[in-house]
Amino acid sequence: MRDPKSSQAIARKRKRAGNEHMRSIEVELYRSVALSACEAISPEASLLKCIEQICRLMDWQVGHIYLPSQKRDALASGSLWYLADPIRFGPYQEYTESLVISSGVGLVGAVFATGQAHWIADASKDPSFLRARQAREVGLRSAFAFPIRTCKDTLGVMEFFTTRHVEAEPALFQTMNDVAKLLGKVYKRKRLEFDVMMKASSSDPLTHLPNRAMFSSRLHEAIVRGRRSGAPGAVMIMDLDRFKVINETLGHEAGDRLLRAVADRLLPFGGQYDHLARLAGDEFTILVPELTGTQTAAQVAEAVHELFEQPFSLDGHSIYLSVSIGGSLFPTDGEDTATLMKHASIALDQVKKDQGKIQFYQHSMQTPTSDRLILEHHLRQALDGDELVLHYQPQVCLRSGSIVGAEVLVRWQHPDMGLIPPGKFIPLAEETGLIMPMTEQILKKACEQGRRWQEEGLMPIRLGVNLSGIHFKRNGLDESILETLDETGFPAELLELELTEGIMMENVEATITTLKKLNAHGIQFAVDDFGTGYSSLSYLKRFPLSVLKIDQSFVRDIAGDPEDRAIVSAIIALAHRLHLKVIAEGVETEEQLRFLQGLGCDYAQGYYFSRPVDSSHFRPMLASERIIPLGMTALIGAGA
Ligand code: C2E
Ligand code: CA
Ligand code: CA
């Protein structure tokens, strides 16, 4: 039998060793939390980094965070997880994410309500633990949850699980308490910085009015609401007359101050819901979401005009400004933001031409010019004469460096004018309806080409084909796509159709039905130009999507602009939460590539790897099955 004194000594020694171990972990945790505070780009990224660090240091296999609902009466599973073994613990994650937990209920609910950490030695057997069965199924045992706190609030609850049976240790509670306090501070600061940044990216820095992107989003919401309520609305673009002269004579600094004064004067038209914006230069825009009672759009425009009857005062001088206004009405002049803005802008051109002051859009303003008629005629010939050629731009996996897909980009090989880029003829094709047969032709050519490459034994890759909005306004898209796949024998799983947010938001229900039908055959869908349209990712969740393409405008300055970096980081985190893969578009430099890799982006596409090239140039890239040493050598130089 062991002498009781020596067993006490052993216990003391053990305790000391345990405490020392905890202390070293604490130091390490503190260091990594502080570090992630400096390095992480978004608040979410700082949390994720901490969860990972804690799991690694404590040897816990699952870590995760719950965040409160807006009303703070419930907790929803956050998007941020660490899973030591994603396949094994994936089902547990999935189940957890499906739960919303009321404050006070279960392990995390109790932690949230009391602000106290909580330990369960064996969660798989504890009846008070709501997910006991699911924990048992994947072999998770001990559970530990603690609040992330500031002095006033509980910001969220972190929970950790291990496959071992571990008893609660007071030293651990103390350590985690200290870490949680630090984390609370870090998270709160990051959240603030991030909100300020998001606000900055939706407003115009000069006047602090919403910018174009924000305005488009407001206009879109108004159109959708108007569709439901049946009330018409209007959008008006205002352009200051002769502002250029003022700018040149008084200087740009004075010009800027004058623009700010104009913005202030227009403010009453902004309402509380950001219905006023500065588009660019001396162009402002006003949204009248609902024309009620006897109020007409023309009366609103008159009222704006009257605002300019009084002079502006600048450095003691009185300056008279006048304004031209062009407007369009919804739903009569258009039912989507792009059409309404285009028509308001055509009306504005007309006012300027006529030297009038207010003009609303009229259909007759858009009589086709003879140039357009000629181009349309040529475009029809192009379709009949097989003048459309397809270029392919590789999409590269940022982990393995291999080509996983290609975007198909159409060009018009004109017999006299040479190679015409899509921007020059797609809009016309859309307006004239020629886009329908054109897309059928593009799809068919792409599928035939894909099939040929497969027959030659080349690496099978996804082909991304762009769709226009028009397709969803007319019937028969789904049949024609399925027929094409059938005829060409190209596998549906390898066809990825790209749609912009605008297209998806326009006719939501019909689009969802069509996409689901095609998706049931294996066809994949990508959101194109993501980030430019202001729709929320959670909304897009209703569509059967598999890929999200981050618009080039965010990638361009990713190395130099922390705001863009934060946005891209948040987009990637959210996309992954929705099980979407992310492609970054427009990658031109190694530096951009490095940042994207660092942010966990899945794929990239851009001149850095290769410009879009015709099939004869694309084939060797596929044939070599070359793994691109990322950041070392691009496939084809940017000048190719
Ligand atoms: P998109 O779908 O956003 O296509 C990407 C555009 O970015 C392509 O322009 C591509 O050449 C360009 N790009 C790729 N990498 C880089 C880069 O690193 N830097 C820069 N600055 N640009 C890069 P492209 O080929 O001129 O096509 C323009 C747009 O025309 C496309 O934008 C798409 O909206 C439309 N389009 C092209 N092909 C089709 C088509 O077959 N059907 C339809 N409906 N639209 C098409
Ligand atoms: Ca595209
Ligand atoms: Ca794009």
Spacing, Cα 384 to ligand 1 middle (Å): 23
| pLDDT score at 135 | 96
Q: Does 570 score more than 90 pLDDT? A: no
DSSP structural state of residue 368? P
Alpha helices in 456-557 (DSSP H): 470-473, 477-488, 501-506, 508-520, 537-540, 552-556
Give CA–CA dist 58/158, Å, rounded.
14
| Closest ligand to the CA of 608 | 1
Mean pLDDT (whole number) for 76-95: 87
- Protein residue with least CA distance to atom 33, ligand 1: 466
- Protein residue with least CA distance to atom 37, ligand 1: 409
Identify the CA nearest to 279 among candidates 212, 209, 370. Answer: 212
Task: State the CATH architecture for 392-405+433-639.
Answer: Alpha-Beta Barrel (3.20)
Q: Which atom of ligand 1 is nearest to the CA of 422?
A: 30
Q: Does 445 score more than 70 pLDDT? A: yes
Pocket test of ligand 1: the residue of 387, 396, 466 to mutate, having most ligand atoms within 8 Å of its CB, is 466
How confident is residue 98, by pLDDT bands cut at 50, 70 and 90? confident
- Protein residue with least CA distance to atom 7, ligand 1: 586
Mean pLDDT (whole number) for 261-286: 86
Q: Which atom of ligand 1 is nearest to the CA of 409?
A: 38
Q: Does 193 score more than 80 pLDDT? A: no
Spacing, Cα 422 to ligand 1 middle (Å): 8
Quick one: how many helices (H) and strands (E) in the chain? 23, 23
Spacing, Cα 502 to ligand 1 middle (Å): 16
273 three-class SS: coil
| Closest ligand to the CA of 551 | 3
- Protein residue with least CA distance to atom 20, ligand 1: 586
| pLDDT score at 199 | 67
Spacing, Cα 409 to ligand 1 middle (Å): 6
| pLDDT score at 610 | 93
Q: Does 638 score more than 50 pLDDT? A: no
What CATH number should be reported for the domain whose range is 15-198? 3.30.450.40
Q: Does 629 score more than 60 pLDDT? A: no
Q: Which atom of ligand 1 is nearest to the CA of 421?
A: 26
| pLDDT score at 1 | 47
| Closest ligand to the CA of 438 | 1
Spacing, Cα 499 to ligand 1 middle (Å): 12
Spacing, Cα 51 to ligand 1 middle (Å): 39
| Closest ligand to the CA of 498 | 2
Spacing, Cα 274 to ligand 1 middle (Å): 32
Q: Which of 80-84, 120-124, 188-192 has the lowest mean pLDDT?
A: 188-192
- Protein residue with least CA distance to atom 25, ligand 1: 409
Pocket test of ligand 1: the residue of 409, 439, 495, 528 to mutate, having most ligand atoms within 8 Å of its CB, is 409
| pLDDT score at 432 | 82
Q: For residue 379, what are its two tokens?
A: 């475009």
- Percent of the chain beyond pLDDT 90? 42
Q: For residue 126, what are its two tokens?
A: 């504890």
| Closest ligand to the CA of 393 | 1
452 three-class SS: helix
Q: What amino acid occupies position 109?
A: G
- Protein residue with least CA distance to atom 30, ligand 1: 422
Q: Which atom of ligand 1 is nearest to the CA of 585?
A: 15
Q: From residue 285, how far is each of 238, 266, 331, 417 by CA, in Å?
A: 6, 10, 18, 38
Residue range 364-423, pLDDT digits in tens: 776 556 667 778 888 999 998 899 999 999 999 998 889 999 999 999 998 888 899 999
Give CA–CA dist 92/132, Å, rounded.
10
Alpha helices in 355-421 (DSSP H): 370-384
Spacing, Cα 42 to ligand 3 middle (Å): 24
Q: Which atom of ligand 1 is nearest to the CA of 612?
A: 11
Mean pLDDT (whole number) for 199-209: 79
Give CA–CA dist 620/627, Å, rounded.
13
- Protein residue with least CA distance to atom 22, ligand 1: 586
Spacing, Cα 214 to ligand 3 middle (Å): 20
Q: Which of 84-88, 146-150, 160-164 has the highest mean pLDDT?
A: 160-164
Spacing, Cα 421 to ligand 1 middle (Å): 9
CA Rg value for the chain: 30
| pLDDT score at 212 | 84
Mean pLDDT (whole number) for 231-252: 87
| pLDDT score at 517 | 94
Spacing, Cα 500 to ligand 2 middle (Å): 8
Spacing, Cα 612 to ligand 3 middle (Å): 13
Spacing, Cα 407 to ligand 2 middle (Å): 7
Mean pLDDT taken over the chain: 85
| Whether the Cβ atoms of residue 141 and residue 124 lie closer than 8 Å to each other | yes
Q: Which atom of ligand 1 is nearest to the CA of 605?
A: 15
What CATH number should be reported for the domain whose range is 212-366? 3.30.70.270
Give the DSSP H or E segment for 396: strand 388-397
| pLDDT score at 183 | 82
How confident is residue 480, by pLDDT bands cut at 50, 70 and 90? very high
Give DSSP secondary structure letters for 16-38.
HHHHHHHHHHHHHHHHHHHHHHH
| pLDDT score at 536 | 62
Q: Which of 179-193, 296-310, 337-351, 563-577 has the lowest mean pLDDT?
A: 179-193
Q: Which residue has the higher pLDDT, 251 or 464?
A: 464
| pLDDT score at 635 | 47
| Closest ligand to the CA of 464 | 2
Residue range 350-360, pLDDT digits in tens: 888 888 899 99
Q: From residue 232, how far is each of 298, 299, 345, 362 by CA, in Å?
A: 13, 14, 19, 16
| pLDDT score at 466 | 97
| pLDDT score at 636 | 40
Q: Which atom of ligand 1 is nearest to the CA of 465?
A: 41
Residues with CB under 6 A from ligand 1: 393, 409-410, 421-423, 426, 442, 466-468, 528-529, 552, 586-588, 606-607, 612
Give CA–CA dist 353/362, Å, rounded.
15
Residue range 589-622, pLDDT digits in tens: 999 999 999 999 999 999 999 999 999 999 999 9
Spacing, Cα 100 to ligand 1 middle (Å): 41
How confident is residue 16, by pLDDT bands cut at 50, 70 and 90? low
| pLDDT score at 594 | 92
Domain extents in the chain: 15-198, 212-366, 392-405+433-639
Q: Does 634 score more than 50 pLDDT? A: no
Mean pLDDT (whole number) for 497-513: 85
Q: Does 2 score more than 60 pLDDT? A: no
Q: Which atom of ligand 1 is nearest to the CA of 608?
A: 18
| Closest ligand to the CA of 612 | 1
| pLDDT score at 637 | 35
Q: Which atom of ligand 1 is nearest to the CA of 393?
A: 14
Q: Which atom of ligand 1 is nearest to the CA of 551?
A: 3
Location of structure tokens 């028009």 = 470
| Closest ligand to the CA of 531 | 3
How confident is residue 549, by pLDDT bands cut at 50, 70 and 90? very high
